[in-house]
Amino acid sequence: MSEKNMTVAVAEALDQEMDRDPDVFVAGEDVRVGGPFGTDAGLHQKYGDKRVVNTAISELALTGIGVGAAAVGLRPVIEIMIMDFVCVAMDQIVNQMAKMKYMLGGQPTLPIVLTTHAGIDSSSAAQHSGTLEAWFCHVPGLKVVMPSNAYDAKGLLIASIRDDNPVIFISNKRCLQTSTEVPDVPYEVPLGVADVKREGDDVTIVATGRMVIDALEAAEQLAAEGVSAEVIDPRTLSPLDTDTIIRSVQKTNRAVVAQEAVQFCGLGAEIAATISDQAFDFLDAPVKRVGAPFTPVPFAPVLEDIYLPDTKAILAAVREVIPA
């Protein structure tokens, strides 16, 4: 075990999987120089041009390379540097990657991982700050992963590469430099299994991506006020581990769901609806949601700070569901 940030953990996962399996390769824009966020650092020097493939600036073509390679038995990891740019590749993702196995009667496997970087970071403005995970959770045939820390990122990426189905692997940009203890050896964090990051008795906070860090900060402040908050990180958004969430709500009787994405029609709405469907009789208050306002992400730092959901927003939601 050693202290690593998420950037290093992701690069290490890619290195170890490429070393283990010669069918694994990485393709994307600028991956030979380490990628835009450093998550491909050192791979080109070790594995060369054929397994670390620089592509043209065409996300549609890049994703098509991955789909074709996976269909003939390779295990591509396709990097789309900024999540907003998946818009250019949606035909390949939604109509090919997600549906091919179903349309061919389950005969082929399609072991492809599409990695991308989401979220608000340093005034990147409206076309470089998207958090669009709900789009992909709505598409049958895709698995969707969103780690909140370096330990989960490495284990989930290794599990994603070894999975025989298409996986969308989303890193939040503000999580990339956060550090935790990470094993040096390869390991898997199973897909579809949520993690209880902090146990509590008074309220359940279900948070995704960077909001997990904010939720844990909120739980610390709530503890000082005598409120015990349980924090759940789904880690895999599809398939969603609803059993862990429901068990927690049955214990705490209150729930807050936090996401960085726009609140309207987001994953938080699905989680809130699931809680209401399956644990309504246990609820002592309505489920509260925390998310971004229904507007593109602003460029100005002062507006970006107002736009971004944070610890204060989670605290406000918790105080609404817990009587004074």
Note the pLDDT of residue 214: 98
Please identify, among 133, 154, 182, the residue that sits at the C-terminal boundary of a domain.
Answer: 182
Q: Report helix, strand or coil for 100.
A: helix
Q: How many helices (H) and strands (E) does the chain have?
A: 12, 14
Q: How many whole angstroms separate alpha carbon 204 and alpha carbon 253?
A: 8
The yes-or-no answer on residue 59 being catalytic is yes
Instruction: Looking at the structure, tell me whether residues 175 and 26 fall in a common domain.
Output: yes
The yes-or-no answer on residue 128 being catalytic is yes
- The first and second tokens of residue 93, run together, are 């993702």
Note the pLDDT of residue 121: 87
**Domain assignment present for 175:** yes
Q: Which of 128, 133, 260, 304 is catalytic?
A: 128
To the nearest 10°, the Cα dihedral for 164, 168, 169, 173?
170
Instruction: Looking at the structure, tell me whether residues 217 and 304 fall in a common domain.
Output: yes
- The first and second tokens of residue 107, run together, are 């005969």
**Amino acid present at 116:** T
Span between the terminal Cα atoms of the chain, in Å: 43
Q: Which of 59, 79, 230, 304 is catalytic?
A: 59
Tell me, what CATH number does 291's domain have?
3.40.50.920
Of the candidates 185, 297, 209, 317, the residue with the CA atom closest to the CA atom of residue 260: 209
| Mean pLDDT per 10-residue section of the chain, whose length is 324 residues | 96 98 97 94 96 95 96 96 96 96 91 97 90 97 98 98 98 95 98 98 98 98 97 98 98 98 97 98 98 96 94 97 87
**Domain assignment present for 216:** yes
**Domain assignment present for 270:** yes
Instruction: Looking at the structure, tell me whether residues 205 and 90 fall in a common domain.
Output: no
Instruction: Looking at the structure, tell me whether residues 55 and 104 fall in a common domain.
Output: yes
